[in-house]
Amino acid sequence: MSYVAGKSVEELERELGISGVKLGSNENPLGPSPTAVHALREAASSMNRYPGVEMDDLRADLATAVGVPVEHIVVGCGSCDVLVAAAAAVLEPGSRVVISRPHFKMYELSALHAEAEIDWVDSVDYAYDIDAMIAAVREETRIVYVTNPNNPTGLAVSAADLARLLESVSDSVLVVVDEAYMEFADTPEFPDAVAAVRDGRNVLVTRTFSKVYGLAGLRVGYGIGPVPLVDKLRRLQPPFHVGRQALLAARAAFHDTEFLARSREHNASARAELQRRLAALGVRVLPSQSNHVLIVGLDDVEVIERGLLERGVIARPTEASFGLPGCVRVTVGVASENECFLQAFEEVITELRTRQAEGRAQ
Ligand SMILES: *Cc1c(COP(=O)(O)O)cnc(C)c1O
């Protein structure tokens, strides 16, 4: 088994010879932070040099911003790197992990790699069933995964639910809270997971520069966790693990609060519009707290995907990547991209409905 990534524009171009809009990988449609681009350009001419102080500078800034001593921060090549390293550090053959479906495949892959067993929990109407997750924890359980907001559903776990989960599991269980999309959440119910780290709980919060900061290509992410775990993860990293230019760009992006605010505002309004217009087409869309929306309950997802690709639109059917049939995930794009998607989607489902009606009439 391996991770199934979304299609790139280059792949679409090679396969169908058409140029397209990519709304399949939850990237920032506004591009990277201009400040980060500037920092990267400035740093380009020194790429003959190994990295030096850049990782510690970034760690220090992250620590200050989230309110923990710097010893709690580990920076990796994307948050996937931190997630995989944490699983490798914590799990051994025979350990168990709890994963709620639908899920981000990296948890499953890293558990399998560590020869751990997985206890699967089913969602209820796409949302986490926190009580079932608590009930799935056994003596051998070493990790419980929570993605907040979730991918692909876009749903958020409330502060009350996360608190209940944390109260119910012992400190021999690491609760991994993957917050790749936390910057997009705007509900007052959204939990402060880092507070649990500050309280000394066995919690690892992971975040990334790939999504709201628009630096997916540079591969920088980080974890906030207990000092012994963070120490272990840091000691296991090869020297010069993350590139200097990537670290400098990430730090610049982190301080570009104007870009951050603009990205979040754009996402919130375009997401609302996308949800409203999709609902008007008579499909069900989950209420998203993220930078993507999930259309659920679809028939013939393969036909829909094909129809969208032929119209130059890359979205993400969720069966191959997330084991979730009958759904299509679409990233919130800029206005013109969202229009392209909505128009293509309307055409495709209208055709499908006509065909289904004809099928029934025969
Ligand atoms: C995108 C994403 C990540 C971030 O991956 P990076 O390695 O930081 O690019 C992590 N978790 C989930 C659920 C994601 O969707």
Q: What confidence tens digit (pLDDT) does each residue in 67-124 have?
A: 999 999 999 999 999 999 999 999 999 999 999 999 999 999 999 999 999 999 999 9
- Distance from the alpha carbon of residue 196 to the mean position of ligand 1, in angstroms: 21
Read off the pLDDT of residues 142-162 as tens digits, 9 standing for 90 and up. Answer: 999 999 999 999 999 999 999
If you measure from the C-alpha of residue 81 to the centroid of ligand 1, how many angstroms do you get, rounded to a whole number? Answer: 9
108 lines ligand 1 (CB under 6 A): no
pLDDT value for 360:
82
Look at residue 362 and tell me whether its pLDDT is greater than 80: no
The best mutation among 105, 106, 148, 208 to test binding of ligand 1, ranked by most ligand atoms within 8 Å of the C-beta, falls on 208
Q: pLDDT per residue over 168-184, tens digit each?
A: 999 999 999 999 999 99
Q: How far is the CA of 208 from the centre of ligand 1 (A)?
A: 7
**Three-class HEC string of the chain:** CCCCCCCCHHHHHHHHCCCCEECCCCCCCCCCCHHHHHHHHHHHCCCCCCCCCHHHHHHHHHHHHHCCCHHHEEEECHHHHHHHHHHHHHCCCCCEEEEEECCCHHHHHHHHHCCCEEEEEECECCECCHHHHHHHCCCCEEEEEEECCCCCCCCCCCHHHHHHHHHHCCCCCEEEEECCCHHHCCCCCCCCHHHHHHCCCCEEEEEECCCCCCCCCCCCEEEECCHHHHHHHHHHCCCCCCCHHHHHHHHHHHHCHHHHHHHHHHHHHHHHHHHHHHHHCCCEECCCCCCEEEEECCCCHHHHHHHHHHCCEECEEHHHHHCCCCCEEEECCCHHHHHHHHHHHHHHHHHHHHHHHHHHHC
d(CA 359, ligand 1 centre) in Å:
41
What is the pLDDT, as a whole number, of residue 259?
A: 98
pLDDT in tens, 205-260: 999 999 999 999 999 999 999 999 999 999 999 999 999 999 999 999 999 999 99
Mean residue pLDDT across the chain: 96
pLDDT digits (tens, 9 = 90+) for 270-309: 999 999 999 999 999 999 999 999 999 999 999 999 999 9
pLDDT at 201 over 80: yes
Task: Judge if the beta carbon of residue 321 lies within 6 A of ligand 1.
Answer: no
Q: Is the shortest distance between the CB of 179 and ligand 1 below 6 Å?
A: no
The confidence band for 131, taking pLDDT boundaries of 50, 70 and 90, is: very high
Q: How far is the CA of 79 from the centre of ligand 1 (A)?
A: 6
Q: Is the CB of 210 under 6 A from ligand 1?
A: yes
Q: What integer pLDDT is reported at residue 218 of this predicted model? A: 97
Model confidence band, residue 19 (pLDDT cutoffs 50, 70, 90): confident
**301 Cα–ligand 1 center, Å:** 24
Which residue has a Cα nearest atom 11 of ligand 1?
180
Q: Which of 3, 25, 147, 211 to mutate to test the pocket of ligand 1 (most atoms within 8 A of CB)?
A: 211
pLDDT of 4 = 73
